[in-house]
Structure 1
Amino acid sequence: MRAPVVSLLALAASPLVLAAQPATPKAASSTPPTLSAPKPLTLPTMIERRLPNGLRLVVVEQRELPVVDAQLVINTGSVADPTGKEGLATLTANMLDEGAGSRDALALAEEIAYLAIRLSTGASLEQSTVALHSTRSTLDSAMQLMADVVLRPTFPEKEFTRLRSERLTALLQEQDRGPAMADRAFAAIVYGESHPYGRSSAGVRSSVETMSRADVQSFWKSWYRPNNATLVLVGDVTVAEAVTLATRAFGGWERAVLPAVPAARVAAKNATTAIHIVDKPKAAQSSFRLGGIGAARSTADYYPLMVMNTALGGSFTSRLNNTLREVKAYTYGAGSSFSLRRNAGPFTARAEVVSAKTDSALIEFMKELNGIRKPLPPSELAKVKRYLQLGYADGFESTSDIASQIANLVPYNLPLSTLGAFNAGIGRVTSADVQRVAARYVTPGALTIVIAGDRASIEPALKATKIAPVDVRDMYGRPVIVP
């Protein structure tokens, strides 16, 4: 017998169904949650050792899980790129895992998969890094593989040709990307093309085209030395085990005298503000970069700078993001940062803004840059300090996080105690400190302003603001003669 068909209308009218309807939800609260006081942060013990060949070892025992993260930091990056070979440091780092020891690129990938580990290589301005994540049971084999990549890369010609071709393609693609155009032009104008900070770590087409496999070998041979390196090991390993593992993998690594890096002259700071347009015809948005030369990582102003920048543009609730995104709806996001390097890195405020609001956005940027120079209200100062202190512990959640935090100290020769001093340092910052560093590093009357966008539509409006003289540059910061 067929089961009776139940009408959907009948079900809808059923008292049982009606009784199951959810209650009306309560209205959302418009009052933000109150930030609690930061709890004491106890960081894991960090132990230093040094191998006879000069390799520095930093070990952190974290025995909760049977995993270990290792980071080998070479104290050299693209600042050491020879003139005319810009991009060499990053290409060298990318080549390390394309063949090493007795394995080609495919065999390396298969071994990594077999061991169920992660191995990555890379380089930035002031360091090159090889990172490893492994279980404790495979750590010995994983470290031997890591050592092959660092000490015995083969730099196969075929893989070099492929990676160089991919780099050239990426550089070509940058020419159609407003944010990349603005980044390159801003750095070059602030520092000058001859300064390492004025160039991209990826290089330029002419430098990459002239690179050879021999250039890569030479860079590796010169800079990848144990007396120029730090090995960080964090996880389920004792100090004694770490020393044994490091000695077995890297004890035969030969030290050498390191080449000298020529000192680079920094372009003089702006005496006045100037607006530089990088033309991207028919662009739907304008890429803003405003700023100038900031501070080095070793600055005594580090903590006040962190507080000041967080208030200005270093968090989602910062002044720049609130004004340009939440209030004006000119952009999906705006912010600012200090790139703290061995020498004074740049201060940059940035946003990608709908093209029709380019002039309006610039006016708001200038208002906020001027406003941060005034005393920070006590409530805002307290909120920003609490935001930084409460969020700091997030950087130590995993073995990988801890290894990265330690590795980030290496290029600047900062003591390990730096990590434990953060919350107290932020706590000591006063409103007067913030106003002092804002007056020193945020200078609305002497800014480099780069805007990559549709010149035909944005130039007249930018000139009408009368904020600063306007000229046109290419994406490498060079002046463009226009009719």
Structure 2
Amino acid sequence: MSKHVLTFCAVSTAATFALPSVAAAQGAPQAASATPPALAAPKALALPAMVERTLPNGLRLVIVEQHELPVVDAQLVIRTGSEADPAGKAGLATLTANLLDEGTGTRDALALAEEVGFLAIRLGTFAGLEQSTVSLHTTRATLDSAMALMADVVLRPSFPEKEFTRLKNERLTGLLQEQDRGPAMADRAYAALVYGEDHPYGRSTSGVKESVESLSLDDTRQFWSTWYRPNNATLVLVGDLSLAEAEALAARAFGGWARATLPPAPAYASNRAAARPTAIHIVDKPKAAQSSFRIGGIGVSRSTADYYPLMVMNTALGGSFTSRLNNTLREVKGYTYGAGSSFSMRRERGPFTARAEVVSAKTDSALIEFMKELRNIRQPLPAAELAKVKRYLRLGYADGFESTGDIAAQLAGLVPYGLPLSTLGAFVAGIDKVTAADVQRVATQYLDPARLTIVIAGDRASIEPALKATRIAPVDVRDARGRPVIVP
């Protein structure tokens, strides 16, 4: 670090002393042009070769050779997450993942942390709705030792009771803290109102107080032994190693992992809020200085044939800094530091959500602007805006492949949805084919202002009268789990 700083300073100093003579040689400074330079056509994105293999135990391998730097990134993706939490045990998948690196058969938590530091690697564990992941970043020089450590975490976690108790108490403390955070309150209520608490998408991956309190150490062991199996996993390896080296490395580390018969995939409950008329639900946070908006409903699955038109449409609406929502609510009106929207595409139909944190006094005004933009996006997209959005998506896509870690993350992102590796290379062409008619069609099909769930977490006493006065939709009060609250 210090060497880089010193080098930078030396270059900067030399450049500073050279400036006067350069300026003198060139004469008076020229006025800047008022015309921005024309952008060149974007270069074609050349993706690295991606190879698939399968070990005898069923572990799928995805291997990418990248030899620019002597580093390797690995991601082991288990195709099960909190969707498989048993009834009344919400939060189990995430707590299980958190425990993996808290001790193994040969190392306690401290010894494990010391070895990670000694090897100078990054080792992480995570669980989401539909996957659990163990990630590794290491240099080529420490690859064998790092991969052995990663395998130890996956195959031989010790589930120490002391660490389980600590993590469980930390989770309960975090859940308590969420009760004073408007954005977290809005997120929880919104998910529950759109899907219902009986649906995996209607619950937080962290669980709730009652479900976390019910979790036992045996629950985490059972979740791990059931779902952490090679025939339910994909190992992504990206970096400075050959195909043969990658296969041999994976076989040494994970070849002895025993496969098992997996339970049936969790059955999802029906989408409860699929066709309800628009309603406004206030989650009361007394004296809140801002209101947290969550507006939308059930969207699409990742396998939708409308993926590319939806990407273009949402980018225009709220998926970029220059999008309509952010421009209107931040730049023009000054109600918020940022507003946006997204389709969370999952195995089943995930939610569409428009969101912002808005100064409390402008809650009603902000809602009016949200509704305007949600109606306007259903009109034909101007040619110039369509071209700008498509160019933004094409140029920005390359950012996801800059490093070995980026490439590994892109590949790991395909695993929960069973998407082929060719999906990554098809993105630019898919975006290029989108027409204005496509955008209008999907906006009309998936965004209906008459069928929206609107959740606003804020100071009910100050925002409720103004929201009712907008006459946009009926207004009621809910708690942070989306349940009705009886008010005087």
**Range class of TM-score, shorter chain:** over 0.9
Q: CA deviation at 1:29?
A: 7.1
Alpha-carbon distance, 1:49 to partner: 0.3
Structure 1 residue runs of 4+, over 3 Å off? 23-36
Give the counterpart of 1:354 among 334, 356, 359.
Answer: 359
Is the Cα–Cα contact under 8 Å of residues 200 and 268 in structure 2 kept in the other structure?
no
**1:406 equivalent in alignment to 2:390:** no
Cα distance in 2 for partners of 1:262, 1:171 equals 27
Q: Tell me if structure 2 keeps the 8 A contact 1:270–1:448.
A: no
Task: Quote the residue 2:101 is aligned against.
Answer: 97
Match of 2:279 in 1: 274
Cα distance per residue 1:323-364 (max 9 Å; x no partner): 000000000000000000000000000000000000000000
Question: 1:109 aligns to what SS in structure 2?
Answer: helix
Q: 1:460 to 1:300 in 2, by over 3 A?
A: same
Which moved further from structure 2: 345-354 or 36-45? 36-45
Q: Describe the SS at the equivalent of 1:227.
A: helix
Aligned equivalents of 2:32, 2:301: Cα separation in 1: 44
Is the CA contact (8 Å cut-off) linking 1:35 and 1:386 kept in structure 2?
no
Supply the AA of the counterpart residue of 1:366. Answer: M
Q: Specify whether residues 461 and 250 from structure 1 end up closer, same or farther in structure 2 by C-alpha distance, changes over 3 A only.
A: same
Which residue of 1 is the match for residue 391 of structure 2? 386
Residues 427 and 110 (structure 1), Cα distance of their counterparts in 2 relative to 1, 3 Å cut: same
Residue number among 116, 123, 130 corresponding to 2:120 in the alignment = 116
Of 246, 249, 269, which residue of structure 1 is paired with 2:250? 246
> What's the secondary structure of 1:291's corresponding residue?
strand
The within-5 A match list for 1:17-56 is: 34-56=38-60
Structure 1: give runs of 5+ residues left out of the alignment: 1-15
Shift of 1:445: 0.9
Q: What is the CA distance between 1:263 and its match in structure 2?
A: 3.2
Mapped to 1, the partners of 2:371 and 2:168 lie a distance apart of 41
Give the superposition deviation at 1:295: 0.4
Distance 1:60 1:108 in 2: 28
- Output aligned runs, 1:311-350, within 5 Å: 311-350=316-355
Q: 2:267 matched to which residue of 1?
A: 262
Distance in structure 2 (CA, Å) of the matches to 1:136 and 1:377: 50
User: Taking every aligned residue pair, what percent have the same amino acid on both sides?
Assistant: 78
Give the equivalent residue in structure 1 for 2:11.
none
User: So what's the TM-score if we normalise by structure 2?
Assistant: 0.93
- The residue that corresponds to 1:155 in the other structure is 159
2: distance between equivalents of 1:198 and 1:270? Answer: 16
Which has the larger Rg?
1
8 A contact 2:193–2:273 mirrored in 1: no
Q: CA, structure 1 residues 217+394, in 2 after alignment: closer, same or farther (shift >3 Å)?
A: same
Query: 1:341 and 1:396 mapped to 2: Cα distance?
Result: 22
Instruction: Map 1:66-465; keep pairs closer than 5 Å.
Output: 66-260=70-264, 261-465=266-470
Distance change >3 Å, CA 86–CA 30, structure 1 → 2: farther
Q: AA paired with 1:354?
A: V
Residue deviations 1:6-33, cap 9 Å, x none? xxxxxxxxxx9xx99xx99988877666
Task: Name the amino acid aligned to 2:366.
Answer: A
Letter of the 1:379 counterpart:
A
Aligned residues: CA RMSD? 1.6
Q: Distance in 2 between matches of 1:34 and 1:448?
A: 43
- What is the alpha-carbon distance in structure 2 between the residues aligned to residue 299 and residue 270 of structure 1? 20
Provide the aligned length of Structure 1 versus Structure 2.
Answer: 464
Q: TM-score normalised to the size of structure 1?
A: 0.94
- Point out where structure 2 has 5 or more consecutive residues left out of the alignment: 1-19
Give the direction of change, closer, same or farther, for the CA distance of 1:268–1:135 in structure 2 (3 Å limit).
same
